[in-house]
Amino acid sequence: MQVLLAEKYGFCFGVKRAIRITEKIAKSNPRTLTIGPLIHNPLEIQRLQRDFDVHVEEDINRLGESKNVVIRTHGITKQNLIELQQKGVEITDATCPFVTKPQKIVEAMSKEGYHIIIFGDSSHPEVRSVMSYSIEVPIVIGNLEEIKNIKRIPKKIAIVSQTTKQIEKFLEIVQYLIANSLEVRVFNTICNATFENQEATRTLSQKADVMIIVGGKTSSNTKQLFFIAKTHCKDSYLVEDENDIQQQWFADKQICGITAGASTPNWVIKNVESAIRALNS
């Protein structure tokens, strides 16, 4: 069986930057806290805790003795940021600049009187952070059907996307809005790393007969890669590390493709790749 890696995969700019920033702060400060997991990869979060004494706390009112707080790649809500600033802790912002962008767009468009629509998962921390910058409650939709259920489409709309969504799905929604509204301001906030990883996954999954996607199970962009792979290669599997791998997946397979989400560290990908190659030999 041939084992092929996607042309683009793994850590994106925003994740690398956040880890670099966090390690630097943590080196000189004990018990640095991140508000929610810094990135959506439990293995990398474990590594940061073990090697750098970085801890995760979801609740901004339970900071304990920590004096240094890092804001996760997905950002936090505007309200939480203001409250944190009043607590007198040292705040380091590791929000991905590609997430800061839709936050700023939503804030500005909302002030200009546009109704905000966000294409994304309303429970995802990135979307919650972006939502919080709208003056009025924004419309958050996960797919085209949801927008079709809205009785009154606003006349003046500004739309952004969660950075890790598929452009094709975003465009479907935008099409519907344009046909049913007067003005639609479209901000393509899908990040380029997401786009490139998705394209490379599409290409690889068209020739592979088994696809392994490595990444955290709560990671939105990893799940998107899984959905794309599944479209072209029915035997696609999402694994967090080499322990999730099952030998029977590879029986009678000719080509195994491997790709990984933007929050998956290289060492985890290497371990998965080695485990697959070992089965093969």
Euclidean distance between CA atoms 138 and 208, whole angstroms: 41
* Closest C-alpha among 124, 13, 128, 21 to residue 68: 21
- Phi, psi dihedrals of residue 211, rounded to the nearest 5°: -125, 130
| Least separation in angstroms between CB 178 and its own copies | 5
* Element containing residue 155 per DSSP (H, E): none
Euclidean distance between CA atoms 276 and 281, whole angstroms: 9
Query: Is 13 near its own copies (CB under 8 A)?
Result: no
- For its own copies, which stretch binds (CB under 8 A), given 12-20, 116-124, 146-154, 169-177? 169-177
| Least separation in angstroms between CB 247 and its own copies | 41
Is 65 a known active-site residue?
no
Query: Is 179 near its own copies (CB under 8 A)?
Result: yes
Query: Is 181 near its own copies (CB under 8 A)?
Result: yes
CB 129 within 8 A of CB 74: yes
- For its own copies, which stretch binds (CB under 8 A), given 14-22, 31-39, 67-75, 174-182? 174-182
* Closest C-alpha among 87, 95, 27 to residue 63: 87
233 in a labelled binding site:
no
| Least separation in angstroms between CB 156 and its own copies | 10
The binder of its own copies chosen from 2, 135, 183, 207 (CB under 8 A): 183
The binder of its own copies chosen from 16, 55, 169, 185 (CB under 8 A): 185
What DSSP designation does 88 have? Answer: T
Using left for φ > 0, alpha for ψ between -120 and 50, and beta otherwise, residue 200 falls in: alpha
**Catalytic residue (one of 44, 58, 112, 126):** 126
CB 198 within 8 A of CB 220: no
55 in a labelled binding site:
no
Query: Which of the residues 205 through 244 are near its own copies (CB under 8 A)?
Result: none
Query: Is 186 near its own copies (CB under 8 A)?
Result: yes
Size of the site for its own copies (CB under 8 A): 15
| Least separation in angstroms between CB 195 and its own copies | 9
End-to-end CA distance of the chain: 9
Positions in the binding site for its own copies (CB under 8 A) = 167, 170-171, 174-175, 178-179, 181-188
